[in-house]
Chain A
Amino acid sequence: MTRIPTPVMQATAVPAEAPFDISPGAPTMAAGSLLYLDNVSVSFDGFRAINKLSMIIKPGEMRAIIGPNGAGKTTMMDIITGKTRPDEGDVIYQGKVDLTKHDEAAIANMGIGRKFQKPTVFESHSVYDNLLLALKQDRRVFPMLFRLPSKDEQTRIDELLALTRLGDLRETVAGSLSHGQKQWLEIGMLLAQDPQLLLIDEPAAGMTDAETEETAKLLKDIAQTHSVVVVEHDMDFIRSLGVRVTVLHEGSVLAEGSLDQVSANQRVVEVYLGR
Chain B
Amino acid sequence: MLRIPVSLRARPVILAFLALSFLLDLLSATPSRADDFETSVAKLNDQSFTVKEEAVLELVQSGDDRALAILSALQDGELFSHKKQNNVIVFSQEIDGAPHAIDVLTAADLGEHGKRDLKKITINNKLRGALKAALGALRLYSKDPDTRIAAAKAVLANPSPEALPLVVEAIEKEQDDAVREALDMAQAALLLTNGDAEERLAAVGMLSGSMDPDVWQVLGRAAGQEADADLAAAAQAALASIENQKSVYNLLETLFFGVSLGAVLLLAAVGLAITFGVMGVINMAHGEMLMLGAYTTFVVQQLMPNAIEYSLFVAVPAAFIVTGLVGIAIERSIIRLLYGRPLETLLATFGISLFLQQAVRSIFSPLNQPVTTPDWMSGFYAVNGALSLTYNRLYIIVFCILVFLALLAVLKRTPLGLQMRAVTQNRAMASSMGIRTGRVDALTFGLGSGIAGIGGVALSQLTNVGPNLGQAYIVDSFMVVVFGGVGNLWGTLVGALTLGVANKFMEPWTGAVVAKILVLVFIILFIQRRPRGLFALKGRAVES
Report if A and B touch in the complex (beta carbons < 8 A): yes
User: Is the CB–CB distance between A45 and B540 below 8 Å?
Assistant: no
Complex interface bits, A59-82 against B, C-beta within 8 A gives 1, otherwise 0? 000000000000000110010000
How far, in Å, is B338 (CB) from chain A's closest CB?
20
| A75 cross-chain contacts in B, Cβ below 8 A | 540
How far, in Å, is A2 (CB) from chain B's closest CB?
35
CA distance A6 to B540 in the complex (A): 37
Q: Does A47 contact B (CB under 8 A)?
A: yes
| A142 cross-chain contacts in B, Cβ below 8 A | none
CA distance A49 to B539 in the complex (A): 9
A118 and chain B: residue at smallest CB distance: B544
| B538 cross-chain contacts in A, Cβ below 8 A | 44-45
Q: Does B537 contact A (CB under 8 A)?
A: yes
Residues of B508-544 at the interface with A, using a CB-CB cut-off of 8 Å, are 537-540
How far, in Å, is A216 (CB) from chain B's closest CB?
28
How far, in Å, is B486 (CB) from chain A's closest CB?
16
| A44 cross-chain contacts in B, Cβ below 8 A | 538-540
Name, among B537, B538, B539, the residue most crowded by chain A CB atoms within 10 Å (CB to CB). Answer: B539
| B540 cross-chain contacts in A, Cβ below 8 A | 44, 49, 74-75, 78
B544 and chain A: residue at smallest CB distance: A118
CA distance A249 to B540 in the complex (A): 18
CA distance A83 to B537 in the complex (A): 16
CA distance A74 to B539 in the complex (A): 12
CA distance A45 to B536 in the complex (A): 10
Complex interface bits, B206-245 against A, C-beta within 8 A gives 1, otherwise 0? 0000000000000000000000000000000000000000
Name, among B537, B538, B540, the residue most crowded by chain A CB atoms within 10 Å (CB to CB). Answer: B540
How far, in Å, is A229 (CB) from chain B's closest CB?
19
CA distance A74 to B544 in the complex (A): 13
A42 and chain B: residue at smallest CB distance: B539
- Say which size band chain B's interface belongs to: under 10
Residues of A61-108 at the interface with B, using a CB-CB cut-off of 8 Å, are 74-75, 78
CA distance A179 to B540 in the complex (A): 24
CA distance A120 to B540 in the complex (A): 17
A78 and chain B: residue at smallest CB distance: B540
How far, in Å, is A192 (CB) from chain B's closest CB?
26
How far, in Å, is B529 (CB) from chain A's closest CB?
15
CA distance A30 to B538 in the complex (A): 31
How far, in Å, is B18 (CB) from chain A's closest CB?
83
CA distance A75 to B540 in the complex (A): 8
CA distance A51 to B140 in the complex (A): 78
Residues of A7-55 at the interface with B, using a CB-CB cut-off of 8 Å, are 44-45, 47, 49
CA distance A47 to B539 in the complex (A): 9
CA distance A44 to B537 in the complex (A): 9
A84 and chain B: residue at smallest CB distance: B540
| B539 cross-chain contacts in A, Cβ below 8 A | 44-45, 47, 49
CA distance A75 to B539 in the complex (A): 10
How far, in Å, is A201 (CB) from chain B's closest CB?
13
A83 and chain B: residue at smallest CB distance: B543
How far, in Å, is B342 (CB) from chain A's closest CB?
18
| A78 cross-chain contacts in B, Cβ below 8 A | 540
Complex interface bits, B306-321 against A, C-beta within 8 A gives 1, otherwise 0? 0000000000000000
B543 and chain A: residue at smallest CB distance: A83
How far, in Å, is A143 (CB) from chain B's closest CB?
28
CA distance A44 to B540 in the complex (A): 8
How far, in Å, is B530 (CB) from chain A's closest CB?
15
| A47 cross-chain contacts in B, Cβ below 8 A | 539
Residues of B472-498 at the interface with A, using a CB-CB cut-off of 8 Å, are none
Name, among A45, A47, A49, A74, the residue most crowded by chain B CB atoms within 10 Å (CB to CB). Answer: A45
Name, among A44, A49, A75, the residue most crowded by chain B CB atoms within 10 Å (CB to CB). Answer: A44
How far, in Å, is A127 (CB) from chain B's closest CB?
26
CA distance A273 to B477 in the complex (A): 52
B541 and chain A: residue at smallest CB distance: A44
How far, in Å, is A57 (CB) from chain B's closest CB?
23
How far, in Å, is A231 (CB) from chain B's closest CB?
15
How far, in Å, is A135 (CB) from chain B's closest CB?
27
CA distance A218 to B538 in the complex (A): 37
| A45 cross-chain contacts in B, Cβ below 8 A | 537-539
CA distance A177 to B539 in the complex (A): 31
How far, in Å, is B540 (CB) from chain A's closest CB?
7
CA distance A47 to B538 in the complex (A): 11
CA distance A49 to B537 in the complex (A): 15
CA distance A157 to B281 in the complex (A): 42
| A74 cross-chain contacts in B, Cβ below 8 A | 540
How far, in Å, is A241 (CB) from chain B's closest CB?
27
How far, in Å, is A250 (CB) from chain B's closest CB?
16
A46 and chain B: residue at smallest CB distance: B539
CA distance A44 to B541 in the complex (A): 10
How far, in Å, is B129 (CB) from chain A's closest CB?
79
| B537 cross-chain contacts in A, Cβ below 8 A | 45
CA distance A45 to B540 in the complex (A): 11
Residues of B370-424 at the interface with A, using a CB-CB cut-off of 8 Å, are none
CA distance A44 to B542 in the complex (A): 11
CA distance A209 to B314 in the complex (A): 68
CA distance A45 to B488 in the complex (A): 15
Residues of B86-106 at the interface with A, using a CB-CB cut-off of 8 Å, are none
CA distance A78 to B543 in the complex (A): 12
CA distance A270 to B242 in the complex (A): 75
How far, in Å, is A81 (CB) from chain B's closest CB?
13
CA distance A75 to B537 in the complex (A): 17
How far, in Å, is B531 (CB) from chain A's closest CB?
15
How far, in Å, is A120 (CB) from chain B's closest CB?
12
CA distance A45 to B539 in the complex (A): 7
CA distance A78 to B539 in the complex (A): 11
How far, in Å, is A257 (CB) from chain B's closest CB?
29
CA distance A5 to B24 in the complex (A): 109
* A–B pairs, 11, beta carbons within 8 Å: A44-B538, A44-B539, A45-B537, A45-B538, A45-B539, A47-B539, A49-B539, A49-B540, A74-B540, A75-B540, A78-B540
Q: Given A45-B538, A49-B539, 9 more contacts at CB 8 Å?
A: A44-B538, A44-B539, A44-B540, A45-B537, A45-B539, A47-B539, A74-B540, A75-B540, A78-B540
The 5 A-B residue pairs with the shortest CB-CB distance, nearest first, are: A44-B539, A45-B539, A44-B538, A45-B538, A44-B540
